[in-house]
Amino acid sequence: MKPNSTNSYKNTSEPAEPGLRIAPVEETDFQTLTAWITAEFPYFKTDPNHYRKRMLDKPIETYKLEKNARMIGYIEIEYLTPDVARINGLGVEPDKRNNGYGTHLIHFALQRLNTPEITTVLLLVHPKNQIAKRMYAKHGFTFKRMFDQTISGEIVEEWQKHPHARARPAKKT
């Protein structure tokens, strides 16, 4: 279930470098956001009108990562059922990658989804996207299955994380 307050992000974004902040996307961000999404994920064609409608029709929340008030990344979360959420997309501007911003966005989303209700966080990733897969594995996601639909002919993997699962104690030998 979508957490009640859309403002709870304020306390979940860990301190980071000066000028960095995470905030909900606004109408004025849609042009840049949808251009990025279409460039990075050509199978997902979107434009500002489509994205606006999508956010109204679905329980989706999208956050931008800003550096000195300029958007340099985003993350989209969808609430699929009361206890399952999915990270639909995550991206960092190409010339800002490999600076920890993707990790910052994942931390943010996992903190946002750290509620008693959410027991499973899903995401979809292309099998060849090794950078993203390594990042997700580092944050506790594991391969669940090949997704049951192709996305524009592309097979994708579904990964999962159970935020409340306790780590198994190591076996005594």
Q: Contact between 122 and ligand COA (CB under 6 A)?
A: no
Contact between 40 and ligand COA (CB under 6 A)?
A: yes
Q: What is the 8-class DSSP label of residue 28?
A: G
Which residue lies nearer to ligand COA by CB, 103 or 150?
A: 103
Shortest Å, Cβ 146 to ligand COA? 15
Q: How far is the CB of 165 from ligand COA (least distance, A)?
A: 22
Which one of 11-19, 27-35, 114-122, 128-136 is the stretch in contact with ligand COA (CB under 6 A)?
128-136
Rule CB under 6 A: choose which of 8, 81, 103, 150 binds ligand COA: 103
> Which of 115, 116, 152, 156 lies closest to 136, judged by CA?
156
Q: Under the criterion CB under 6 A, does residue 71 sit at the interface with ligand COA?
A: no
Residue 92 CA to residue 65 CA, distance in Å, equals 8
135 part of the interface to ligand COA, by CB under 6 A: yes
* Residue 107 vs residues 43, 62, 140: alpha-carbon distances, Å: 27, 15, 11
Q: Which amino acid is at 113?
A: L
Overall residue count recorded for the chain in this entry? 173
The Cα-based distances of 71 to 107, 114, 151, 170 in angstroms read: 18, 25, 27, 43
102 contributes a contact to ligand COA by CB under 6 A: yes
Question: In angstroms, rounded to a whole number, what is the distance separating the alpha carbons of residues 164 and 118?
Answer: 8
Query: Does 101 sit near ligand COA (CB under 6 A)?
Result: yes
Binding site for ligand COA (CB under 6 A): 40, 90-92, 97-103, 125, 129, 131-132, 134-135, 138
